[in-house]
């Protein structure tokens, strides 16, 4: 099983998916934030394996807050 790499601070495409790259685009951006919001509201049935930004084993509001903080840096 593939274990994702931790979220990188520069939020650039590193050629691999990172925690926080919810939409699997290779970049971490506002689209990932929107995808995570949809997932948490139950509006999206996509995979959330990279939505667990804080790596605690689940995708929840704390991941949304952490992703938002990373994006405003």
Residue 48 is predicted with a pLDDT of 65
Residue 53 is predicted with a pLDDT of 87
Q: Is the pLDDT of residue 33 over 70?
A: yes
Tell me how far apart the alpha carbons of residues 6 and 39 are, in angstroms, rounded to a whole number.
Answer: 20
Residue 10 is predicted with a pLDDT of 42
Residues 6+ apart with CB under 8 A from 3: none
67 — pLDDT class (breaks 50, 70, 90): very high
Residue 30 is predicted with a pLDDT of 93
Q: Is the pLDDT of residue 19 over 90?
A: no
Pick the more confident residue, 47 or 27: 27
Contact 7, 53 (CB under 8 A): yes
| Termini Cα distance of the chain | 32
- Which run of H or E residues covers position 23? none
Tell me how far apart the alpha carbons of residues 36 and 30 are, in angstroms, rounded to a whole number.
Answer: 10
């Amino acid at each position: 099983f593939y274990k994702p790499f931790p979220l990188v601070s520069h939020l650039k495409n590193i050629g691999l998916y990172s925690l926080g790259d919810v939409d699997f685009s290779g970049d971490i951006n506002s689209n990932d934030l929107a995808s995570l919001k949809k997932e948490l509201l139950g509006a999206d049935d996509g995979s959330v394996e990279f939505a667990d930004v804080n790596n605690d084993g689940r995708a929840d509001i704390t991941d949304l807050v952490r992703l938002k903080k990373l994006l405003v840096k």
